[in-house]
Structure 1
Amino acid sequence: MAKSLLFRQLFDADSSTYTYLLADPVSKEAVLIDPVFEQHLRDRALIEELGLSLIATLDTHCHADHVTGAWLMQQAVGSKIGISGRYGDMVQGANYLLDHGDRVAFGDRTLEIRATPGHTDGCITYVLDDHSMAFTGDCLLIRGAGRCDFQQGNAHTMYASITEQIFSLPDYCMIWPAHDYSGRTASSVGEEKAYNPRIGGQADETDFVGYMENLGLPHPKKIDIAIPANCLCGRPEDGKMPTIADWGPVRLTYGGVKEIDPQWVAENLGQVHMLDVRAPEEFNAELGHIGNAQLVPLGELEGRVSEIPTHQPLVAVCKSGRRSAQATVILKKQGLKEAASLRGGMLSWNEANLPVEKA
């Protein structure tokens, strides 16, 4: 019987980086491959919403085009950090120094580590236990291969890595790279063997090396920032976690909504301005309303923003948290950035037995 897998491919548009979430749906244990620093809140929200326990973040190599989110995730949820041990003392802060033949388990699934140097000395490919998926980092890309002109890169070494470690996998094995700059999402070993213009078809080592040594690419724009930061697994110089808001425990959902829990709001009503965006007939209906809340129906909000006080952070509220989420979008467009949606709306407020008023 085939083992099940929860799988998500995530994307960072600024660096064209793919991040991969894999989880055992039974145990809920998960791993995150190639997380991006700026996408930490998105990734964390998805993990929480899916009810997963992140046991490790795994980088395919020391990236030059973005900073890893490994340290942030470790601080947030206690996950371990894995990266190639071949970087030696260059990398500090990792829990797992991985090498060829090692395995990382998550629930009933495992990832096999295959050393695939060539882009850098420490590039590794993660292969799923049934050989159905390979996460190749910057070694083998979709119809391409990672550059070999910095960080101890070597085209001869990469040729051996691809042909011996990746092309030895079954043709049906799906290739999931760390980057793609043309909107392509995945490939397969069979496809790349046949159609990769650098190493596919009848190309030999001389063809591949000649191609790779004449790419003429500019240096990655973030290399001077990314490599030093990634040598610390993404730990910022000040060692501090970024926050969404400095006025309260605001959370960002996977859908990009800023939310705050009812209990905190109830305990800090004097520190925020409540904005009820329901229809007037709902304000005094069964669910009631929060004391001192200002009623501005969502359909009227954009035209009445000038009526809303700005000396306190805003908490928008509706019945379920959906209309209030859209209210925060409208408020942001109008320049009111210190705003969050009440998580679960008046339904959650009432379920928590928090005080309400009715006419």
Structure 2
Amino acid sequence: MIFKQLFEPVSSTYTYLLGCEETGQAVLIDPVVSAMDRDLTLLNDLGLTLAYTVDTHIHADHITAALELKRKAGSRIVAPAFDHLPCTDHAIEEGVPLVVGSISVDPLHTPGHTDGHFSYRFNNCVFTGDALLIDGCGRTDFQNGDARALYHSVHKKLFTLPEDTLVYPGHDYHQRRVSSIGQEMKRNPRLGLDKSMDEFLDIMRNLNLPYPRFIDYAVPGNKLCGVCPSHLPEDLEKYCQQITESTQG
């Protein structure tokens, strides 16, 4: 099995490549449109054919590369059935694995950051999107977010996994790459350390975060599986401009 963790620096997004050496097929989890050329080059270098792109949720901080990769690589678009996106080729549900050659990915519905958010378990890893970050979690104040639902998702779905399960988040802003379920249970200042529901709700109510600068472009574009606006303000153009290298891999 081939595994690569890739980092897109504008939105600090991690993309994950899973490749089956037997069939030469691959899956990309949370691909970013500005890093699409980098990902296509990597797939070519590894001799892999992209079978599926899989998104954890409708992103507010970047444009998914799902649609453009379908056009360029012939891959199929996978997204949560919950979101009812008409542009998807395969709608994923909890309890129904996504199988690509020797790769079997188990979807876990983990709402809270958004109502349609999914995490994906693969072997001893879980790709948690924005539900669980290293020493944190995604915000819950837009896109039908719900702090109470997020607490339940993490404690009842993610923290019930074996403690040595590796946690690969959707973002990190401090150059950290991987955690574990056990570490997050013990150290996460929002959701670990035996934090109660009431303590978590109080933390999330008082984050006082600014309005996401790209959300008004990203959410409509991602509901179409990855359409970059034709005219962006100059200070936001970098969200759709191509990068060719990844600082991590």
TM-score surpassing 0.5?
yes
1:67 maps to amino acid: I
Aligned mates of 1:15, 1:254 — CA distance in 2: 15
Structure 1 197/49 Cα, relative in aligned 2: closer, same or farther at 3 Å?
Answer: same
Does the alignment pair 1:92 with 2:90? no
Aligned to 1:162: 154
Query: Is contact 1:148-1:213 (8 Å) kept?
Result: no
Aligned to 2:104: 110
Does the alignment pair 1:196 with 2:188? yes
Q: Deviations over 1:182-212 (max 9, x none)?
A: 1111100000000000011121111111111
1:16 maps to amino acid: S
Aligned mates of 2:18, 2:36 — CA distance in 1: 16
Aligned mates of 1:164, 1:8 — CA distance in 2: 28
Aligned mates of 1:201, 1:235 — CA distance in 2: 40
Does the alignment pair 1:56 with 2:52? yes
Where do 4+ consecutive residues of structure 1 move more than 2 Å? 235-238, 252-256
Match of 2:65 among 52, 66, 69: 69
2:195 maps to amino acid: A
1:146 maps to amino acid: G
1:75 maps to amino acid: R
Query: Is contact 2:111-2:118 (8 Å) kept?
Result: yes
Aligned to 1:35: 31
1:124 maps to amino acid: F
Does the alignment pair 1:11 with 2:7? yes
| Secondary structure of the structure 2 residue equivalent to 1:210 | helix
Query: Is contact 1:35-1:70 (8 Å) kept?
Result: yes
Query: Is contact 1:45-1:253 (8 Å) kept?
Result: no
Match of 1:206 among 198, 208, 230: 198
Aligned mates of 2:154, 2:58 — CA distance in 1: 18
- Post-superposition offset of 1:254: 6.4
Aligned to 2:77: 81
TM-score scaled by length of structure 2: 0.91
1:92 maps to amino acid: P
Q: Deviations over 1:29-85 (max 9, x none)?
A: 110000001111000110011000111000000000000000111001111111111
Aligned mates of 1:120, 1:182 — CA distance in 2: 23
Aligned mates of 1:46, 1:65 — CA distance in 2: 24
Query: Is contact 2:133-2:171 (8 Å) kept?
Result: yes
Aligned to 1:125: 119
Aligned mates of 1:157, 1:255 — CA distance in 2: 37
1:13 maps to amino acid: P
1:202 maps to amino acid: D
Match of 2:208 among 216, 228, 236: 216
| Secondary structure of the structure 1 residue equivalent to 2:39 | helix
Aligned to 1:134: 126
| Secondary structure of the structure 1 residue equivalent to 2:127 | strand
2:72 maps to amino acid: A
1:220 maps to amino acid: P
Aligned mates of 1:253, 1:165 — CA distance in 2: 35
Aligned mates of 2:46, 2:113 — CA distance in 1: 34
1:18 maps to amino acid: Y
**Which runs of 5 or more structure 1 residues have no equivalent in the other structure?**
239-251, 257-359
Aligned mates of 1:141, 1:117 — CA distance in 2: 14
1:45 maps to amino acid: T
Aligned mates of 1:255, 1:236 — CA distance in 2: 20
Q: Deviations over 1:102-139 (max 9, x none)?
A: 211121120000000000011000001x3x00000000
Aligned to 2:234: none
Structure 1 79/158 Cα, relative in aligned 2: closer, same or farther at 3 Å?
Answer: same
- Post-superposition offset of 1:253: 11
Q: Deviations over 1:252-292 (max 9, x none)?
A: 99669xxxxxxxxxxxxxxxxxxxxxxxxxxxxxxxxxxxx
Aligned mates of 2:132, 2:139 — CA distance in 1: 10
Q: Deviations over 1:218-243 (max 9, x none)?
A: 121110110000000003467xxxxx
TM-score scaled by length of structure 1: 0.63
Q: How many residues align?
A: 235
Aligned mates of 1:135, 1:8 — CA distance in 2: 13
**Which runs of 5 or more structure 2 residues have no equivalent in the other structure?**
231-241
Structure 1 254/45 Cα, relative in aligned 2: closer, same or farther at 3 Å?
Answer: farther
Does the alignment pair 1:176 with 2:172? no
Query: Is contact 1:119-1:147 (8 Å) kept?
Result: yes
